[in-house]
Structure formats: C-alpha cells, structure tokens
Amino acid sequence: MALSFQKIGNESSLWQRIWRNRALYLLLLPATILMICFTYLPMYGITIAFKDFSPTLGIVDSPWAGFKYFTQYFNSYNFWTTIRNTLIISIYSVIVTFPLPIVLALLCNQMTARRFKRFFQVSTYLPHFISTVVMCGMIILFLSPSSGIIPKMLGALGINVPNLMGVAEAFPHIYVWTEVWQHCGWDSIMYIAALSAVDPSLYEAATVDGASQWQKMIKIDIPMLLPTATVLFILRTGSIMSVGFEKVYLLQTTLNLTYSEIISTYVYKMGLISNQYSLSSAINLFNNIINFILLLSVNLLSKKMSDTSLV
Amino acid sequence: MTTAVKANNKVKRMTSDKIFNFFLYLICGIGTIIVLYPMYFIIIASFSSPTAVSSGSVGLFPVNPTFDGYIKLLGYTSIWVGYRNTIIYTILGTAMILAVNIPAAYALSRKDLVGRRIFNLFFIIPMFFTGGLIPTYMIVKNFGLVDNFWVMIIPFSVVTYYIIVARTFFENSLPDGIWEAAQIDGCGNLRFFFSFVLPLSKAIIAVIALWAAVGIWNQYFNALIYLRNAALQPLQIVLRSILISNQNMASMTTGTAAQEAQELAELIKYAVIVVSSAPIMCLYPFVQKYFNQGVMIGAMKG
C-alpha cells in the first residue's frame, strides 16, 4: 500500500497530499467529532422551532407547525418587554463599558511610577476572576437594605436608599456598573498592549516639539488605539442582542422582573422550566438570526468605511 | 528672545504636566481603592462578629475577630462536596480541553493541510451561530449525558477561541524550517507534533490551561442546565443556593434567636465567598503574566 503511493509520489495529486498528512487529520479528529455532535447536530434540532414538538414523537416525527410559535412570541406580552430590556441593558453596557477600558489604558500608559503602575494593573485585573455567582452574591450582600454596606454608607451621609434589588428601574444600572467594576481593568489589557507597541521615538519627537503629556495622549495614543477599538467595537455591536444569561438570571427577583427579563432568561424559562420546547427554540432562533444579521452588517459597514473588518 | 519664549513654554509645560500628573495619580488611586475595597471588605467581614457586620461598624479592620463563619462552614457538607466536584471537573475538563484543542489548532496552522479553509470555517461558524439552548439540551440528553458526570467534561470541550489563539501562536512562533528539516530526517507528523511542537509550545499550553481552568472553576451554566443530582453539583451551584437563593438557612434558626441566626447566615456568606474564591485569587498574581500574554496572542488575530 505504502509502496504504491510512493510510486505516484512525484505528481503529488490531491489525494496524495491528503494521504501524506493523514496524521494531521487524526489530530483534528477529536475536535471535529465533538463539534459535529454537540454543535452541528443541535443546529438540525432548530427545526423544532417550526414544529409542534412532542417528546414522545421526537424531533423528526413531530408534526410541522410553520411559524405558529414565532407569531405566538411576537403577539405575546413578553415580546416587547424582553426585547426592550435586552436592548436597554446591552446598549447601556456598550456606551459605558466600551470607552472606559480605553480611558483606563490611556491613564495607565501615562503613569511613570513603575511600582504603582504595576500595582494598579494587577488590582484592576483582579475582579475579573471572581465568578459570576460570587459577584452576584456580593452585589446582593452589599445592597441588602438591612445589613448591606452601600445603604449603610449612604445612610451615614443622610441619603436614604430603598432596597435597590427590588427597584426594577435600578436593574440596568446595577448590572452595567458592576460590570465596569469587574471587567474594566481586564478589558483594557488589549489597549495597553497596543499602546506598548507605539514607537518611543514618537514621544521623544513630541517632547522636543514642546508637547505636554496631555497633548501626547490626545495626539499620539488615541489615534494609535483606533484600529484595535474598531475591531472590538464591531464585535460588541454584533452581539448587541445577546446579553449574557448568567448574571441577569442570578440578579433577577420577582420585584425587578419588569426590567430584568431578557431574551435569554425568557428562553431558559420557557424551555427548561415550562417545557415549551418549540416556543423556546423559536425565540432563541429569532434572537440568533438578528444577532447574525447585525454582525454581518456592522462588519460590512466597517469594511466599507475603514478597511478594518473581522473576516 | 527666542530662548526666552522657549524657556517660558517649557515652564508652562512643566506646570501643565504637574497638574496632569496630579489628577492622573489621584484618579488612579481612587480607582484602585474602588476596585480593592469591596474585596477587602468581604475578607474582613468574614472574620468579624456577625452583629458588627450587620450594624455596619466594620470599616477598615475586622471587629471582634471570630472564626464562627468558617467554623459553621465546615459543617456544610454540600460545600465540600461541591468543592471536591469542582476540583475534579477542573482537572479533567482542563486536560480534555488541551487534548482536544491543541492538536486541532496545530493541524489548522499547517499551510499544507488540504481543506484548511473548510476546517477553519467549520470551527468558526459556531462562534456566530449555534443551535441554541433547547436543541443542544435535547442532543445532550439523547447522548445520555443529562445528569451524568461526563457532561461537565466532554460535550463542550471544543472552544473555537482557544483554537484560534493556539493556531495563531503556532503560525507565528514555530520556525518554518524545522518541519522541513524533520521531514528530511524521516520524522512523521505525529512524532513531530509530540516531540517538537509540544515542547516548543509550553507558553501557549500554559495560557490555555489557565484560561480553561478558571473558566471551568467559575462557570455554573452547564451544571444548571444539565445536572440535577446533588452529588454531582459543582461549587458554583452550591454557592448559588447559599448566596442567592438563601437556602440552607432554615436549619440555622433552631435554638438561637432569629435575629442572631440571620446575622450568622450573612456572616457565612462572606466566609463562603472567601473560601470559594481564594484558590483562584491566590494563584492569579503568580500566573498573571501568562494571562496577559495569551490575551495579546489572541489580539494579533484581530
């Protein structure tokens, strides 16, 4: 067998090129199989969004239902609530959590005191490693009206705060600003890396020309960060309709539900708690498609405008 | 004349830089305090007397130091079961992630791989489009993995992001000549991968192992969806029931006054946060340079 392949070796046919690197396919095999089983097979399962799924009949044999479940969702009271809440939380998040890491990186880059700079970086990265469950536990503890440190501190200043976890309107603020606390430092790493690649002679030249530190920051650092920022911004906008499930779900209380019920938590509740598999899949698919379209259009737009794109 | 103007400018610049620096360090100093204080507070509160914590008199140092919270915590078997499970999931899951993603990433980094583009696309598509919760749940169920120990290790071990980062590393860091040289010496792909590629890639393997381990340690979503059996629950699920759903507290109210029990329950929350986060937090400063490296390798792709 091996001999016969060596014979045709010189012409290097497609099959022969594949055969020569057969071991590489072996290396790809485990990942490929797992990907097919647990990511691509479920894509086929999306069909249940268009079916009257019954567990006894299974995915294939359940009768088709067309767009029944989509219209059911569009007409339900929760349609606008979930979409509004998802958009509020995600747009608010982008507005706040997108620029702050850039500011942080700029500040960090200006610091000359080595020790303090290092300390500052390590401490701002630290909260990133707190798990979502613990983070939410901390939020609830700190905001607790009976013993929480935040109501206590504000109370000492004469400000009376209600039980913030029970005030629906407060939910997006709590979500976004704790997100800043936890991830702002970590998210700045990429920008700090971009700034460390700036040619030092640029700063020297600017100093000779009499530029102040502030001017150097505005005229050198910010333009240097633009390409990185553009790519990250595309990614963020592309996922504007997908707010992470974990944190929102953990912070939900019956009192703040009017502002905290987002698409992903609704999908979970409809699907795994109320067992409405088809409805849940339909909502999920709808959300997925919007995300996909958003990502493609933002990508296209930025390709046209600035030559920076993802794929 | 001109020298005078220059000197004047220089003075102006010096003062403006001084003001700038003052605000720079002021803002960063306040920022550091805002970031560190809540974590510090959790630690001191966990050692303080329950009454002091709930009355708000704990500020900078523990008040009436006590280990009550931690002692009570020792009695919660569910936490220790969760702890043990999480350690097992983290070790096996990390090993699985490395075993699956690193070889795939290497294969994809090879330019002479026929079908490279198709394979790349195959792994990238799921970053943007997935089956969603319910279809995935049903497939996992069909494989008999719901409420099964292995659901935490096998099904979701392919992580496209890790593959991209490792692939980028292989593409940029392995010298081009060594594969050709090895080939001439009669070295096959597999042997080359195990005896040359892996030893040269310790840095990226460390980065991905750390990311994976932290990810598994901290995640609770999969357990929430796929595990019902209490004996299999990881730490994060147990934490959720203590910190967020306020469970396990009813048993505390017997014998003591309700107020005191309530305060102790709060104290246990602080202690449990410390106990569950300590391993990663203590490890982090030592390994942070690897984390940063990894983010930068990942950034090169973008």
B114–A277 C-beta distance less than 8 A: no
Nearest 5 degrees, angle CA A224-CA A226-CA A230? 150
Per the CB < 8 A criterion, the answer to whether B82 and B238 are in contact is: yes
Is B36 a residue whose pLDDT tops 70? Answer: yes
pLDDT band, residue A4 (cuts 50/70/90): very low
Cα-Cα-Cα-Cα dihedral sign, residues A101, A106, A107, A108: positive
Residue B223 has what pLDDT?
92
Cα–Cα distance measured from residue B41 to residue A103, given in angstroms and rounded to the nearest whole number: 27
List CB contacts (< 8 A) between B54 and chain A: 146-147
Selecting from B42, B158, B263 the residue whose C-beta is nearest the C-beta of A35 gives: B158
From A13, A33, A61, give the residue that closes a domain: A61
Task: Give the pLDDT band of residue A92 (cuts 50, 70, 90).
Answer: very high
pLDDT at B251 over 60: no
Q: What is the pLDDT of residue A8?
A: 44
B255 min Cα distance to partner chain A (Å)? 22
Per-residue pLDDT at B1 exceeds 70: no
Q: Above 50 in pLDDT, residue B95?
A: yes
Whether residue A9 has pLDDT greater than 50: no
Find the CB nearest B140 among A23, A38, A120: A38
pLDDT at B93: 96
pLDDT (0 to 100) of residue A159: 81
Q: Which residues contact A305 (CB under 8 A, 6 or more apart)?
A: none
For residue A238 the two structure tokens come to 């592309």
Contact A287, A270 (CB under 8 A): no
CA–CA separation, B244 vs A302, rounded Å? 42
* pLDDT > 90? residue A289: no
Q: Where are the beta strands (DSSP E) in B72-132?
A: none
Domain count, chain A: 2
Claim to verify: residue A180 and residue A248 sit in the same structural domain: yes
The verdict on A110 and A248 lying in the same domain is yes
**Cα B46 to the center of its chain, rounded Å:** 23
Contact assignment for B273 to A271 by CB distance below 8 Å = no
Q: Indicate if A132 and A13 belong to the same structural domain.
A: no
Indicate if A34 and A160 belong to the same structural domain.
no
A96 and A27 assigned to the same domain: no
Whether the pTM exceeds 0.90: the reply is no
- CB distance B62 to B47 below 8 Å: yes
Q: What are phi and psi of A51, to 5 degrees?
A: -125, 160
Residues A33 and A142 in one domain: no
The domain locations on chain B are: 2-55, 77-247
Structure tokens at A148: 């929480």
- My answer on whether A257 and A109 are in the same domain is yes
Q: Which residues of A touch B129 (CB under 8 A)?
A: 43, 288, 292
Please, which residues 136-195 of chain B have a Cβ atom closer than 8 Å to chain A? 136-140, 143, 154-158, 163, 188-190, 193
Taking residues B25-51, report their average pLDDT: 89
For residue A241, pLDDT over 80 is answered with no
List B residues 15-34 in contact with A (Cβ-Cβ < 8 A).
Answer: 16-17, 20-21, 24-25, 27-28, 31-32, 34
Query: Rounded to an integer, what distance in angstroms lies between the CA atom of residue B224 and that of residue B232?
Result: 11
Q: Examine the pLDDT at A273 and tell me if it is beyond 90.
A: no
Q: Which residues of B touch A277 (CB under 8 A)?
A: 134, 138
Asked whether residue A205 is assigned to any structural domain, the reply reads yes
Contact between chains at B123 and A48 (C-beta distance less than 8 A): no
Of A190 and B198, the one with more pLDDT: B198
Q: Provide the 10 A C-beta neighbour count for residue A141.
A: 22
Q: Does residue A276 lie within any of the structural domains?
A: yes
Q: Please, which pLDDT band fits residue B250 given cuts at 50, 70 and 90?
A: very low
More confident residue, B50 or B194: B194
Whether residue A101 lies within 8 A of chain B, CB to CB, comes out as no
Question: Tell me: the pLDDT tens digits for B107-165?
Answer: 999 888 888 999 999 998 888 788 888 899 989 998 999 999 999 999 999 999 899 88
Pull the structure tokens for residue B267: 């104290």
- What does pLDDT average to over chain B? 84
Whether residue A244 sits in one domain with residue A137: yes
- Fold assignment, B77-247: MetI-like fold (1.10.3720)
Distances (CA, A) of A63 to A47, A59, A69, A272, B266: 11, 9, 13, 21, 52
> How close A93 gets to chain B, by Cα (Å)?
19
Question: Percent of chain B having pLDDT more than 70?
Answer: 88
Average pLDDT over residues A126-139: 91
How far apart, in whole angstroms, are the C-alpha atoms of residue B90 and residue B79?
Answer: 16
Residue where the block lists tokens 């997908």: A242
Domain with A267 in it: what CATH number? 1.10.3720.10
Overall average pLDDT of the A227-248 stretch: 78
> Is residue A255 pLDDT above 80, yes or no?
yes
- Structure confidence at residue A237 (pLDDT): 76
Whether A153 and A38 share a structural domain: no
| Least reliable range by pLDDT among A103-107, A169-173, A278-282, A303-307 | A303-307
Do B134 and A277 lie within an 8 Å CB cutoff?
Answer: yes
Interface residue B122 vs chain A (CB under 8 A): yes
Q: How far apart are CA B8 and CA B163, in angstroms?
A: 57
Looking at the domain assignment, is residue A93 inside a domain? Answer: yes
ipTM score of complex: 0.85
pLDDT level of residue A1 (50, 70, 90 thresholds): very low
Q: For residue A130, which residues of chain B lie inside 8 Å, CB to CB?
A: 39, 218, 277, 281
Q: How far apart are the first and last CA of chain B?
A: 51
Helix%, strand%, coil% for chain B, nearest 5: 80, 0, 20
pLDDT (tens digit, 9 = 90+) per residue, A51-90? 888 878 877 888 888 888 898 889 888 899 998 998 899 8
Domain that holds residue A105: 81-306
Is A67 inside a domain boundary?
no
Average pLDDT over all residues of chain A: 84
Site of tokens 């014998």: B255
pLDDT over 70 at A7, yes or no: no
- CB pairs A-B closer than 8 Å: 274
User: In this model, does residue B92 exceed pLDDT 90?
Assistant: yes
- Evaluate whether residue A73 is within a structural domain: no
Is the same domain home to A9 and A110? no
**How far apart are the CA of A123 and the nearest CA of chain B, in angstroms?**
7
Residue B87 contacts A, CB cutoff 8 Å = no
Predicted local distance difference test score (pLDDT) of residue A99: 92
DSSP state of B146: T
Q: Is residue A70 part of a domain?
A: no
